[in-house]
């Protein structure tokens, strides 16, 4: 059988052959690549040199094909994962974990790295070369290189179990999301919903074979408009409970998986000499320690909670005034928030949607990138794709002469795609077999789909999400380093959100909105009064929004600093942990933890705080932009040089100070949010 995964990519600009790759290709290709890698490892280990070039560059060549296959697999596992791919995922994960440990726990390989590390200052290395050897050495130590043989065996067992558990957690969330459908047969029960939402619900029902009905699922583009506009409180409650219990006490229950993940993380951390998983993680973060994270979160809590308490009182009073509701609940939040926003600001998503046609927003964000960084995006149709929804672009410099990278977009929900939004590097920028190559970057979202009568019209939140993920994409595309392990988003986790979150600021500025916000039917520019209201909406109920983010961050830190065996009841643990951020009673038999994929199946364990941490950085950085104009090439050039191009080649605080000229001011966040 010809296997496309074992042939060097030969598409335009090295594009990967997604149109040829099938689930049955992965296991044979991976086993073959690992066999060849082990042969190369024997040669690598037998070479007694400890020079930087041999130790680092040759090691990268050994694992390149395995890394290539693994990268494709995990990108597809998130973005386009049919049942055949799900079935092989535990075995793939186990094989890759075992192979990774074969390298990280090999004493001969570690000795070579240690010798290079010990002599690094005698080898006349560049700043980047010093960083990569230090990172490599620390990575081996943090993955058990200094353990006794018996402890290494234990670490292998833990890592292999963990790989299976995180995949199982993720797949349960996906299956549970796809399993639920709210079917409505009486049109009266759609009261309050905009026409576009009703049309999308009818199309979903038709696709599910439920003609004459309207259906809503648990993916955000379907669920959120219902929670925001549906007058029927009982149906809002039903949908909310379905979402809050989808992996809690159901056939997709994640409770045992969650507890086992926590148990293994703690056991692994202690085996490596750390008190908790959080201590292990934060050693390589800007925050450095659980105490510093908690101090930071508590400072934000003290600023935000008084504002949030006033916000919730206003919502409760509104619900009582309009509908006589005296037991305001979580499933009332979005509905009355939207009414209050319309009353206070005379604005809502349905007023804005016609100005946010997806194609216009995408063209607008490309224009922003051109104005700031002098780059251009050209759509191409000869790049292989993994799904028909994907669009592909070649990225060039301003003159169209120098190729910067490939860019893929994938915007609409489907049963084979996990929920949420993310950026991923299909191919990272950096060295491959001695040659520096440009990256292939993708952003994946779950936006409002077009219907038969309307194009995809985004909410303001969806526009902000697009700008956020595009910021990550720029971090990957504009990377200008030598070693892949330091390129693009390979930075400290509480720094990685700076390039993404800063992009959201442009959406709230008139100069940016004027680039793309035109009515999809009339072509009329968004009115000035709406621009002002969009700016005002950035602070609307910000106290509550901040508390919501803090609740996730506190929950994450509590899970990763506790003794897992003491958690008898997950819902109870959850309730106790987030009580200080809660404004409403927790509904019985619900759980956010069992579908908290960011920390149990993603990379955010003991790191969810980084969203707020990076908000301080982005608020401070955007104030710098505003001093010279939001499209200042001078400031953008500094941001590109010191933040976007440098990746993880230097400590993030040093890079930030080179860009900004000073350390970030936490007051910038409070000023922007109106919480000072």
**Angle of helix 542-559 relative to helix 610-628, nearest 10 degrees?**
140
Task: Give the separation between CA 553 and CA 357, rounded to whole angstroms.
Answer: 33
Q: How far apart are CA 615 and CA 624, in angstroms?
A: 14
Q: Residue 558 contacts by C-beta under 8 Å, 6 or more apart in sequence?
A: 573, 577
* Cα–Cα distance, 27 to 25 (Å, whole number): 6
Q: Mind spelling out the 3-state secondary structure of 93-149?
A: HHHHHHHHHHHHCCHHHHHHHHHHHHCHHHCCCCHHHHHHHHHHHHHHHHCCCCCCH
Cα distance between residue 669 and residue 211, in whole Å: 49
Q: Give the single-character DSSP code of 525.
A: B
Q: Which of these is catalytic: 394, 462, 469, 574? A: 469
Query: How many helices, marked H, and strands, marked E, lie in the chain?
Result: 27, 9
Burial class of 563 by CB neighbour count within 10 A (0 to 12, 13 to 18, 19+): exposed
User: Could you say which DSSP state residue 580 is in?
Assistant: G
Please report which residue ranges of 374-497 form alpha helices under DSSP H.
460-477
Task: Categorise residue 488: left if φ over 0, alpha if ψ from -120 to 50, beta otherwise.
Answer: left
Could you tell me if 266 and 275 are in contact, meaning their C-beta atoms sit under 8 angstroms apart? no
Please give the helix or strand (H or E) that residue 37 lies within, else none.
helix 23-46
Buried b (16+ CB within 10 A) or exposed e, 367-386: bbbebbbebbbeeeeebbbb
CA 140 – CA 356 distance, rounded (Å): 48
Could you give the count of Cα atoms lying within 13 Å of 268 in the half-sphere of its Cβ?
Answer: 23
Other CB atoms within 10 A of residue 599 CB: 24
- Taking the C-alpha atoms of residue 45 and residue 436, their distance in angstroms, rounded to an integer, is 25
Size (the chain), residues: 676
Residue with tokens 């890759």: 96
Q: What is the DSSP string of 225-254?
A: HHHHH---HHHHHHHHHHHHTTTSSSTT--
Known catalytic membership, residue 536: no
- Return the residue matching tokens 């694992």: 63
Report yes or no: 555 and 577 within 8 Å, Cβ to Cβ: yes
Return the HEC string of 284-318. CCCCCCHHHHHHHHHHHHHHHHHHHHHHHHHHHHH
Q: Catalytic residues, which ones?
A: 469
């Amino acid at each position: 059988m010809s296997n496309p995964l074992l042939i060097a990519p030969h598409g335009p600009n090295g594009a990967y052959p997604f149109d040829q790759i099938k689930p049955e290709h992965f296991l044979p290709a991976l086993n073959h690549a690992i066999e060849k890698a082990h042969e190369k490892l024997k040669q690598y280990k037998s070479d007694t040199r400890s020079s930087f070039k041999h130790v680092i560059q040759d090691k990268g060549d050994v694992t390149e094909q395995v890394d290539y296959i693994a990268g494709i697999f995990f990108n597809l596992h998130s973005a386009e994962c049919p049942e055949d791919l799900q079935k092989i995922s535990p075995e793939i994960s186990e094989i890759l974990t075992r192979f990774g440990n074969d390298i990280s726990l090999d004493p001969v390989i570690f000795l070579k790295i240690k010798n290079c590390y010990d002599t690094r200052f005698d080898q006349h290395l560049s700043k980047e070369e010093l960083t990569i050897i230090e990172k490599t050495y620390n990575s081996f130590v943090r993955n058990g290189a200094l353990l006794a043989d018996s402890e290494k065996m234990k670490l292998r067992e833990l890592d292999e179990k963990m790989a299976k558990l995180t995949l199982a957690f993720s797949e349960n969330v996906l299956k549970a999301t796809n399993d639920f459908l709210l079917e409505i047969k009486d049109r009266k029960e759609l009261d309050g919903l905009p026409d576009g939402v009703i049309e999308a619900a009818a199309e979903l029902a038709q696709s599910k074979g439920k003609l004459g009905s309207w259906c809503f699922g648990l993916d955000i583009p379907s669920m959120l408009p219902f929670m925001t506009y549906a007058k029927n409180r009982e149906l809002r409650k039903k949908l909310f409970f379905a979402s809050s219990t989808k992996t809690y006490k159901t056939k997709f229950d994640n409770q045992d998986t969650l507890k086992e993940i926590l148990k293994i993380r703690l056991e692994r951390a202690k085996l490596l000499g750390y008190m908790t998983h959080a201590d292990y993680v934060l050693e390589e973060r800007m925050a450095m320690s659980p105490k510093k994270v908690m101090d930071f979160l508590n400072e934000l809590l003290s600023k935000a909670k008084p504002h949030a308490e006033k916000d919730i009182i206003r919502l409760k009073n509104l619900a009582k005034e309009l509908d006589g509701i005296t037991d305001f609940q979580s499933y009332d939040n979005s509905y009355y928030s939207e009414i209050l926003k319309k009353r206070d600001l005379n604005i809502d998503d349905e007023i804005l949607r016609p100005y946010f046609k997806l194609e216009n927003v995408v063209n607008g964000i490309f224009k922003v990138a051109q104005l700031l960084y002098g780059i251009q995006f050209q759509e191409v149709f000869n790049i292989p794709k993994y799904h028909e929804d994907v669009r592909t672009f070649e990225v060039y410099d301003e003159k169209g002469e120098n190729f910067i990278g490939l860019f893929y977009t994938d915007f609409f929900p489907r049963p084979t795609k996990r929920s949420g939004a993310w950026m991923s590097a299909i191919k990272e920028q950096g060295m491959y077999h001695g040659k520096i190559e440009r990256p292939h970057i993708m952003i994946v979202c779950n936006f409002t789909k077009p219907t038969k009568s309307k194009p995809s019209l985004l909410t303001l939140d969806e526009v902000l999400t697009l700008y956020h993920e595009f910021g990550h994409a720029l971090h990957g595309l504009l990377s200008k380093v030598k070693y892949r392990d330091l390129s693009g988003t390979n930075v400290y986790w509480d720094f990685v959100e700076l390039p993404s979150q800063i992009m959201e600021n442009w959406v709230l500025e008139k100069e940016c909105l004027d680039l793309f916000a035109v009515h999809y039917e009339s072509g009329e520019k968004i009115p000035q009064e709406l621009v002002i209201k969009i700016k005002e909406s950035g602070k609307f109920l910000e106290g509550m929004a901040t508390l919501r983010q803090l609740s996730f961050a506190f929950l994450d830190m509590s899970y990763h600093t506790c003794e897992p065996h003491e958690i008898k009841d997950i819902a109870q643990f959850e309730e106790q942990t987030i009580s200080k951020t809660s404004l409403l009673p927790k509904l019985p038999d619900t759980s956010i933890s069992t579908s908290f994929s960011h920390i149990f199946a993603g990379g955010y364990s003991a790191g969810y705080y980084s969203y707020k941490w990076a908000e301080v950085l982005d608020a401070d950085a955007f104030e710098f932009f505003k001093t010279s104009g939001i499209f200042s090439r001078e400031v953008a050039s500094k941001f590109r040089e010191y933040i976007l191009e440098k990746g993880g080649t230097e400590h993030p605080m040093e890079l930030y100070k080179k860009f900004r000229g000073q350390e970030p001011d936490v007051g910038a966040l409070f000023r922007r949010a109106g919480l000072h």
